[in-house]
Amino acid sequence: MPNESWKLLDTMMQPRGIEVDTSTASMQVVGKRHYGRKALVQGGGGGRQAARELFDTLLLWKATVPLDDKGRATVDIPLNDSLTSFRIIAVADSGIGLFGTGQTSIRTTQDLMLLSGLPPLVREGDRFDARFTVRNTSQRQSEIELNGNLEGQALPAARVTLAPGEAREIGWDVTAPYNVSQLRWDVALAELSAGGKAPADRLKVRQKVIPAVPVRTFQATLAQLDQPLDLVVKIPADAVLGRGGIRVALAPRLADDLPGVREFMSLYPYTCLEQRISRAVALRDRVMWNQAMEALPSFLDRDGFVKYFASERLGSDTLTAYVLAIANEAGWEVPAGTLARMQGALRNFVTGRAGRDSPLQTADLTIRKVTALEALSRYQPVEPNLLDSIEAAPNLWPTSAVLDWYGLMKRATDLKGREQHWAQAGQILRSRLNFQGATMGFSTEKTDYLWWLMISGDVNANRVLLAMLDDESWREDVPRLVRGTLGRLQHGRWNTTVANAWGVLALEKFSARFEAEPVTGQVHARLDTQQSLLEWDKQPKGGGFDFSWPQAQGTLSVVQTGAGKPWVTVQSRAAIPLLQPLSSGYRIARTVTPVEVKVPGELRRGDVVRVRLEIEAQSDMSWVVVDDPVPAGSAILGGGLGKDSQNLSSAEQKRGFVWPAFEERGFDAFHAYYRFVPKGSWVVEYTLRLNNPGHFELPPTRVEAMYAPEMFGEIPNAAVTVSP
C-alpha cells in the first residue's frame, strides 16, 4: 500500500477481487474493534505512526505483509484480552490502479469467564460486597472454584456449580482499611474435575481508596532554625484518635520544600484549567504542565482567549494573561501556535477589537488591560500605541494593577516616560506596604481584593516579592518581604491556587539568590519520649519526621547543631469530622428522595434516588463550586453515556438565576461549577443509581467560592446503607 495516501474504507463493504503483480505487491493487514462505522486507514511502508482514529473505530494492530509467488500470506494477529468481536481488513496495492480490500469478522470467547463488579473507588471504613461475576458460556455444566487475594492476604475460597449459559455473582464482605491509597485484588477462577483444578480465568484489579474524614493540616508553623524551636502540642478534642500527629519537615533552603503548599495543591479536588496549571507550577510538576499544554488548544475560544472549561463558549482575558505570565515566570513553554493565538487575543482586547465582559459589573476595564499588557511584555516589546486607551493613574489603582504597571515599565524600555512611570510605581508599592509583626499587608488591602479577577492579598504579597528580588533599591527590604509573605500562610499554605503558584516561584527565586550558605551538622527533634535525628551530610536535601500525638499535652523541641540556618515546618495534622453545619457565606440544605425503589423506606442495590441541594448565597460571587459526595459504587445519571437513563434524570430541577459552566460526575462526588452566583437562593438536583450493597461513609457537602475561599458552607452527611 503506497505511502503517499490515506484510504477511507467502508468497513461494511464486501471484499473486491483484484489483479496483483506479486513481484512488487504487499498487503497491509489491519485488526480493529468494530462499531459499524468508517475507519481511516494509513498507507504502509513509510514509517508513519499508527493509523489515526476516526469516529468510534479503534485501530489495534497493523502490519505490512509480503506475499508469496501465489499472492498468499499467513499472518498471526495478536489480540488483547478483551472478549469481544474484531474485524480484520486486508488492503492490497500494486502500483497505480491495482487496489482492493478483503475483510472478515471474528469473535473471541472462552468457556468460563470472570468479570469484576468492584466499585472503582471506596472510602476508608466502607463495608461493601466485593462482587465478581462468573459465567459459563459452554454447553456443559461446570463446577468452579473462586480464589481471591487482597493485598497479599488470601480470602476464603468459594465453590459453585454453573449450568450451561449461567452466570452468578460471588464475592466477599470487605471493609476498606485506613491509611492506604489503593486495594490490589488478584482473583483466579478454576474449573474442578476428577483430574483436579484447571485454571480458567484470572483478574488483577486495583481499587482506589480515599478518606471519608481526611487527615489535614489544621495548624502549621514555618521558622528558620537559627535558634532552638520549642512548641507545645496537644491533639484537638474533637479529632479521631489514632490518626494524624505532628509532622516535622526540614529543608536547607526555603524553596526546597513547602509541605503545607504541597499537601494543599496535591489534594486540591477541582479541575478548571487555571487550577490544573497552578497545581503544575506549585508542585513543579513538568508532566502535569505538559498535559495541560497538550489540552490548551481545546480551551481557546474563537478569538484565542483561554476558557476555564473547554465546554464554555467564551474565554477570559484575565485567565489568558495569567497563563502567559505564570508560564514565563516558571520558565516553562507554551506551544508556539497556541502562544501566538493567545498573544493576538490580548492585543485585540487592549485595542478594543475583541471585547470581553467582566464577571462582575464594575469598572475594571483599565485594570484588565494593564494586566494583559504586562503579560504581553514578557514575550515581546510593547508598542507605545497599545497604551493609548489607558489613562495612567496608578495612585488610584488597586495594588495588583500597580504591580502590573511596574512590570510593564520595567520591560518596556522604549516607552516615553518609562523611567518616571517605573519609579512612581515602585514608590506607590513601598508606601502601601504595611508590616504588622511578622505579617505583611497593604494599606489598600480591602479594595485590593478583586476575587472576580483571581486577585487576593496573598497573590499581591507574593508578586511584590517576585518583582523586587532583583531590584537593588529593594535589596535591604527583601528579608522583610519574605517574612511578611510567609506570615500570611494559613495551615501552611496561601489562600488560593493562584497565590500558591506565585508563592512557590517567589520563594524559589529568593532561595536561588540569597540562600547559598550550605547547611551542615544535625537536627535533633524530640516529642516526649519520641526522638528523631537528621544528619545533613547523609540527607543534604532535607527530610522529615512523623510523631504520634502525645496522650496529653507535650512539648516538641527541634534543635540544629552545625553551620547554616535550615528551615523547619511543623504541621499539626488530625482527622476532625464535621459534626454541625458551617456557614460562612453559603447555607446548604440537602434532601434525598426516591425515584425508583424496590422497598419503600429502604435503599437496595439498583435503586435510583434524587439528591436536591438548596443553597443560599449571602453575596454576589464569581466561580463558585458545589461539591456533593456520593456513596461508593454509585453512578450519577445524566452524563449521556451508555446505559445512562435519560428518563430517570429528566425531572431534575434547577432553580435560581445561576447556570453551571461545567458539571463533573465522578465516582466520588458531583461537582457543579458556576461562573457567577448572585446573592439569593438556587437549587441544583442530580439523580443517582445505587449499584453496590454495603455501608458507605460520606464526607461533608461543601459550597465554596474558589477565589474567595473564606466564603463557604459545609454540612455533614450521614453514612448510607444499601441492602442487597
Is the pLDDT at 409 greater than 60, yes or no? yes
Q: What is the pLDDT of residue 559?
A: 95
Average pLDDT over residues 304-320: 96
Q: What is the pLDDT of residue 98?
A: 76
What is the residue type of 84? T
Residues 453 and 189: their CA atoms lie apart, in Å, by 58
| Percentage, residues of the chain above pLDDT 90 | 70
By mean pLDDT, which of 103-112, 174-183, 444-453, 602-611 is the weakest?
Answer: 103-112
Angle between helix 497-514 and helix 317-330 axes, rounded to 10 deg: 20
Is the pLDDT at 24 greater than 60, yes or no? no
Q: What is the pLDDT of residue 439?
A: 84
Q: What is the pLDDT of residue 99?
A: 77
Is the pLDDT at 38 greater than 60, yes or no? no
Residues 593 and 598: their CA atoms lie apart, in Å, by 13
Distance, first Cα to last Cα, the chain = 57
Q: What is the pLDDT of residues 131-172, one digit of tens each?
A: 999 999 889 999 999 999 999 899 999 999 999 999 999 999
Query: Residue 468 corresponds to which cell in the numbers above?
Result: 523586587
Q: Which residues contact 404 (CB under 8 A, 6 or more apart)?
A: 370, 371, 373, 374
- 196-210 and 121-123 strand pairing: parallel
Q: What is the pLDDT of residue 353?
A: 94
Residue of 529, 554, 574, 546 whose CA lies nearest to 242 = 574
Strands (E), 407-550: 433-436, 439-442, 522-527, 530-535, 543-547
Q: What is the pLDDT of residues 390-403, one digit of tens each?
A: 999 999 999 999 99
pLDDT confidence of 416, banded at 50, 70, 90? Answer: confident
Average pLDDT over residues 566-592: 95
Is the pLDDT at 558 greater than 70, yes or no? yes
Q: What is the pLDDT of residues 192-231, one digit of tens each?
A: 987 788 888 999 999 999 999 999 999 999 999 989 999 9
Q: Looking at per-residue confidence, does 81 or 425 come out higher?
A: 425
Q: What is the pLDDT of residue 46?
A: 30
Q: What is the pLDDT of residue 39?
A: 31
Q: Is 414 helix (H, G, I), strand (E, B) or coil?
A: coil
User: Which H or E run contains 302?
Assistant: none
Q: Which residues contact 104 (CB under 8 A, 6 or more apart)?
A: 87, 88
- Residue for grid cell 502540642: 233
Side by side, the strands of the sheet bearing 245-251 are: 215-224, 567-575, 245-251, 543-547
Q: What is the mean pLDDT of the chain?
A: 87
Residues 341 and 338: their CA atoms lie apart, in Å, by 5
Residues 632 and 638: their CA atoms lie apart, in Å, by 18
